[in-house]
Structure 1
């Protein structure tokens, strides 16, 4: 891995917190992701399943974690099953986790090779009543692929049909949404790498560069700072491309007078950052562009103040809508009649700001969190209002990542990344 070794106390604590919410006489099983094929002998780069990483720090394929708090034998309370490594694998694929290295990484003392799984599993399944399976219940999930976890769950339920089944996901949704300080430090590291990429871009952009040139400059900076690269598919959208919310082609030339909407973020140690900035190709905003830019920035700043413990996500978005409505009125994009006659299910402001303002962020860019429950301290949210005006050929989105505090305003993890319009212009022309 490119990243520094993470303090295993994080994973020890995460397992302890998970185990505390399990039913009596139950065990939980978590699988790594597959390595996904492309064609012939080509594969996609491996990405670890975030749940097993959260609970163990193991960042390797063909790994299984078992948590069994009520196991009769102490050695079975926590177990890792890993693909056995050898000299041949080391030569062809690189070093894999040894049992000693797995303990150093995770704090799990009992480590078996994967070939022992069925034998050990038979023993412990005779000692428990309930097994927790790990299903993907994220509110944005739309998965057609049968994952390694899915295949294992199918096999387990057929092999042991008399056991009760429980779901790990509701426990993980709550645990993963509230960050430990070690996690916050890792997310801060990802944000700091993103800052370096953005400052590089400000000195690079000029009329005639291509969107993919900008993407390449970000990637250069990310890799040089121990990141694998982008936390999600980057958006580099110049001109009217910015009005396509998930524009990812990044294949157009940037023209003088246009704006570029950048929605990019570095990952670090599997943790995400998520930044949006909008900059002028020529290094200076027009008066109209700056007026819209400053309106978006004001909404972002006021919305950020609402992210405090106890806030309900849905109510928060209603209040942000009121802020945006006021700004759009000031810009002349809507009028009072539009507001008076609006459809409550699709308010007038939605014509120019059609997406949500905030989502949980962490190991996943759209991270775990139950949106119907009140916000808590140490949750990390994005704040990302935007105004999109196809008729005028530009769209603007500004986005920071913030940590909810027990008291006071949220802590901005992107506080050092330039965002004020005048500062953007000064840096681009320095």
Structure 2
């Protein structure tokens, strides 16, 4: 049913129709509206049976999710920014135990200085935590990805982060085709856990593993991630067949068939990039864009195929690896035979405009780009500060 709805509410309704049995929540902007909406659905009885657990911290939220999932419940939570960092220890426990928890990350910058606006610093900081990471381009895709995430998580017995841009998506009101309960029930079977903590049949999970076995444990986790590269497209294809929308998957090439230059990006900025690419195409510029939906595991082979024959690759990143530059760029480099250009853009919520992108892409096509570029950097400000601090 098409509905004008805030992105957070769309995600809450998609999660509710996935029938989680335990939701644990601690509020932090910009994810708060999601768990607020879910708490209302639980309180009204619309989402039942489900236990909504108010916790005292984000670490507690993930700990409750771990306990719930380990005892056989479908578990969900949400967080952002410093909240995700506060969960970090428990994130590794969830993935190491192979628990199919689904979590929304409403992407937000990490301080200091304090900044509540959008970039990808938070989820990128946890890229090696063992969680699958899916990035939504729009609110429609954010809602769709949550339904798919439960199925992916439970088929692989791995936790999944669905990342959606804070405020840009979470607080934007737009038309979203919300899936019906019968549709979701047909697509997402009841959760059947692979292992269950049961007082009637005691067992230990997460016990100490020494050097004689730890490499094998990590290798098996790696193999499950590689398996996800097969499962994610299969689930996306099944979703398309069931709901009539093409959503999810590994990557999304756009106007790349004959492109000399390809831009790679994640999240909501893809909309502005596509609009800019359309304008440049009308002007005769051979440029395309690849949206990366699945960042972990990284879709190396799929991206390699999409970039075959491309002369230039520009990676537009919403996070910065201080001291080196690009985060996504490092993975793109493994998939492409050339040397990608890295562009750091939109940090802390700074707008990424078509005007700036047009100038950037013109420089790329003319081979004027530096290996590392900070889009719309205020050079006078940084140069003054560098002089002041010596």
Could you tell me the TM-score, scaled by structure 2's length? Answer: 0.26
Select the structure with the greater relative contact order (CA < 8 A; seq sep ≥ 6). Answer: 2
